[in-house]
Structure 1
Amino acid sequence: MKKKLWMIFGPVIVAIAALLILLWAPINFKTVTPQKIRQAATSLDIRVLKGESVKNAAEKENYIPIIGSSELSRMDPFHPSSMAQKYHWNNKPFLQGNPGTASLTQAMNVGGMTNLKGNKAVLIISPQWFSRSGVQAEAFKYFLSPLQLTGFILKSNTGDKAMNKYVAGRILDLGVSKGPIEDDALKRISEGKQITSFQRFYIESFVRSSLQSQDNLFGSLSMNDHEPMIAKAANKLPDEYDYKDLNKLATQMAKRSSRDNDMQIGDTFYKRQLRKRINIYKNTHRHVKYTSSPEYNDFQALLYMFARNKVEVMFVIQPINPHWVKYTGMPKSSITNFDKKIKYQLKTQGFNKIVDLSNVKDSNYIAEDTIHMGWRGWLMLDHHLKSYYKTKKANPKETQYKMDSYFLTNDWAKNKNVTK
């Protein structure tokens, strides 16, 4: 009888025991190969975003992260990943973002990238992040990485106390709950207290070690594979880089791809998302403003993570399709006032490398759809990235940041004027 029971349940018990050993044992699994890193760089896989092992491995190689949101998935021939492949940039983009990711998600992401210290990064800023309500709680909870959260908790006794209080409080306000011990630790941090010895021991020895093992084992398995798409897009580019010729080609491709509407929106997007309900958007954005939002405080948390690690950052303010702006009735002041406010927050703290695509002289085909870069917009950005990507290490002169706690205040978040 015992033998029969063992024959039935024995393999299950052994499998569970083996899995527990894999998850809890302090073993460093070498699963992140150069091929996996290359695939991950364009995968936009959520496990890569929420993990640490793949990104930190990439930081040891010739990759510079481009951090953003849904625009990164617009992979036409002029997408930075296509251009980097075709024209053999010294360093390649490593894409980090998904639809719904915003400043606080990316602050946690950057905080977990230990090998980013002293290197370069690119951050694409979307004006629509800065809505009146800020990031949606469900979106933040979906993208919040338990691994990155444990890292934040364990580092909370170092760095700027006011910033740690803000981040912990914001996470709790958004309704995040990861367990009684983690929740209480966050509550203590939000009150300006250090976590207890037991909390540190439990989170470090049990929770984080298990999450790291899971990340090492499964973080790069069966990722999205966009390499064929990138290769196909790169093959449409001429062999020699000439900006004027590429600009003409981008315009030609854009015209061919947006014949079904007069707003220079890609036909595929227009047919799927807009054609049947285009009329409901007429003049619907007359009262949209991007100058009063809790996102400005979340954005400060992201800036702090960059500053703490002496990361040189190129900030890109991406455009909104000007034809869409006109059709929806959005006041031009909504964009120009946002532009002034976000630049003020950046420049007064020493973040001076800004590529502003929100107000260019020739904005034709700068966006692929309503609010995302494409065609000529990508090409304009590539023009700046081409030289930026020649070296990976940060220029120390570009990382002399002076962080100002005023940008964590409610007064700044709701302030419609630029200055204090």
Structure 2
Amino acid sequence: MKKPIFMPLILAFIVLIVLVIIPNKWIESLIPKNRISEAATQLNPFMFQGKYVQGIMLEDPKYLPIYGSSELARLDRFHPSNYFQVANDGFTPFLVGRGGSESLIHFLNFSEHLGELKGKKIVFVLSPQWFNPNGADESHFVPNYSSLQGYDFAFNNTLNPEVKKKAIKRLLTYSSVKDDPMLSTLYKSEISNNPWTKEEATLVRPFALAYRSLLEKKDLYYTFAGGTKRGRDISPTLRHKTWHQLELEAEQYGAVRATNNHFYIVNSQYNNIKSFLPSLKNKNIHGSYGKSKEYGDFQLVLDVLKQAGAKPLFISVPVNGHYYDYTGFPKKGRTDYYHRIKKQIEAEGFQVADFSGHEYDPYFMKDTIHIGWKGWVYTDRAIKQFYNGNDKKLVRLN
């Protein structure tokens, strides 16, 4: 006898309804107790785009959140997550970010956890490449954007209204926001004086709240499922070594991994670019990171952290000077960025570990743009000083 063709659809619908009506507390009770510690180095995008894991992490004093982008995934032995596990300095780094996680993405994330950031020490790694003239483009913003954080932002009534309006105007330039009819209606009502726009938002609000509830439940299910463990290089030999000894070891470590080029780029990365390297010669003679929309986006990050009462340490990462000189990227276009970003951070009373003086330092960078072995040693030192309370004035490391 032929099975009813609609039976699988009916069963799927019933399962969906069950999953939706299960109380959140029940799902939370099923989440393994070690899920937060597992997530600390998994760099799981579902965690970045959710709020459950980060909310618990921020309330636990043993975690030191480190926010950034693609450099966080380079888990060599000098990386903060690996070094501090060996050094056992009383805290566990918790990594938040991946490639394309630029200022606006972090701003939405921080806005999500405004109350939990009060008094919390955090580390924020800056990449000069974010500060191209147009700032974050669609290809970087869209994959990292969180609908849950976007909807929570719409209903956030604690954030400074002026900061919120500036952010909304910027967010509405991206397709994942402006093409969402409910969310864009809510956002537009915040920045418009049009009575009809306000009325539309009133009509949409109950449906938006219901959708946000579904997104929260989805976050819990993803948390229950967990992420994938990443490979790490944890070296117990680093324990009890002085910073000078660590610096020398990092140089030696890099020296045997960057042998086939004069840029001090790790061999595997150089092999990926050497075939088209001649085409990059003097390609960026008009380049500059001194002027960018990203500065406005970054100011939103500073504003929300200041309102939250967070205690951030910013890591100002240099570029690979040898490579940037080869591509013709002007020195001024780099130094303008270093000076401007440092001034912008310090104007808000925050601390910055400025490593801009290490552009030409061998093995400070791992490739053309990412901090590497020796760079991580300097970062580890700055983090340790900051965490131990020396956050009023960091030892000059540049």
- Please report the TM-score for the alignment, with normalisation by the length of structure 2: 0.89
CA distance in 2, matches of 1:247, 1:67: 24
Counting only pairs closer than 5 Å after superposition, residues 11-410 of structure 1 correspond to structure 2 as 12-28=9-25, 29-30=27-28, 31-61=30-60, 62-113=62-113, 114-155=115-156, 157-175=157-175, 176-177=177-178, 179-191=180-192, 196-204=201-209, 206-219=210-223, 221-226=225-230, 229-230=231-232, 233-235=233-235, 237-271=237-271, 273-351=272-350, 353-360=351-358, 363-390=361-388
Q: Secondary structure, in 3 states, of the residue corresponding to 2:237?
A: coil
Query: Which residue identity lines up with residue 335 of structure 1 in the other structure?
Result: R
> Would you say the 8 A contact 2:322–2:360 is kept in 1?
no
Describe the SS at the equivalent of 2:283: coil
- Identity of matched residues, %: 30
Cα distance in 2, alignment partners of residues 107 and 316 from structure 1: 17
Q: CA deviation at 1:362?
A: 7.3
Between the aligned partners of 1:344 and 1:59, the Cα distance in structure 2 is 28
Larger displacement relative to structure 2 (79-88 or 32-41): 32-41
Taking the aligned partners of 1:247 and 1:220, their CA distance within structure 2 comes to: 40
**Secondary structure at 2:48's aligned position in 1?**
helix
Pick closer, same or farther for the CA change 1:308–1:32 going to 2, 3 Å: farther
> What is the Cα deviation at residue 390 of structure 1?
4.5
Return 5+ residue gaps in structure 1 as ranges.
399-420
C-alpha distance in structure 2 between counterparts of 1:19 and 1:89, whole Å: 46
8 Å Cα contact 2:284-2:328 kept in structure 1: yes
SS at match of 2:172: helix
What is the alpha-carbon distance in structure 2 between the residues aligned to residue 220 and residue 381 of structure 1?
A: 33
Q: Matches of 2:224 and 2:125 in 1, distance apart?
A: 25
Contact 2:32 2:224 in 1 (8 A): no
Contact 2:71–2:371 (8 Å) recurs in 1: yes
CA contact (8 A) 2:323 2:368 kept: yes
- What do the CA deviations read for 1:220-257 (whole angstroms, capped 9, x no partner)? 5251311xx22xx2226333232111111101110000
Alpha-carbon contact 1:90-1:389 (below 8 Å) kept: no
* Counterpart Cα distance in 1 of 2:387 and 2:348: 24
Structure 2 counterpart SS, 1:338: helix
Structure 2 unmatched ranges of 5 or more: 394-398
Deviations 1:182-213 (A, max 9, x none): 22111112337878444333222x11111011
The letter for the 2-side match of 1:240 is: H
Q: Which moved more, 1:317-326 or 1:369-378?
A: 317-326
Aligned to 1:406: none
1:203 maps to a residue whose letter is A
Q: How many residues align?
A: 384
TM-score normalised by structure 1 residue count: 0.85
The question of whether the paired residues in 2 share the 8 Å contact of 1:161 and 1:192 is answered with no
CA displacement at 1:120 relative to structure 2: 1.3
Structure 2 letter corresponding to 1:65: P
Q: Does the 8 Å CA contact 2:315/2:353 hold for their aligned counterparts?
A: yes
Give per-residue Cα distances to partners, 1:298-349, cap 9 Å, x unaligned: 1111112212211100001111112112212222222211111112222222
Cα distance in 1 for residues equivalent to 2:254 and 2:146: 37
Q: CA deviation at 1:14?
A: 4.5
Alpha carbons of 1:151 and 1:192: their partners in 2 closer, same or farther (altered >3 Å)?
farther
Report the 3-state secondary structure (helix = DSSP H, G, I; strand = E; otherwise coil) of the residue aligned with 1:65.
strand
Aligned equivalents of 1:235, 1:142: Cα separation in 2: 34
Give the CA deviation at 1:126: 0.9
Are the equivalent residues in 2 in contact too, given 1:258–1:266 (CA < 8 A)?
A: yes
How far, CA to CA, are the matches of 1:290 and 1:53 in structure 2? 35
- Alignment partner of 2:141: what SS? helix
Amino acid corresponding to residue 200 of structure 1 in structure 2: R
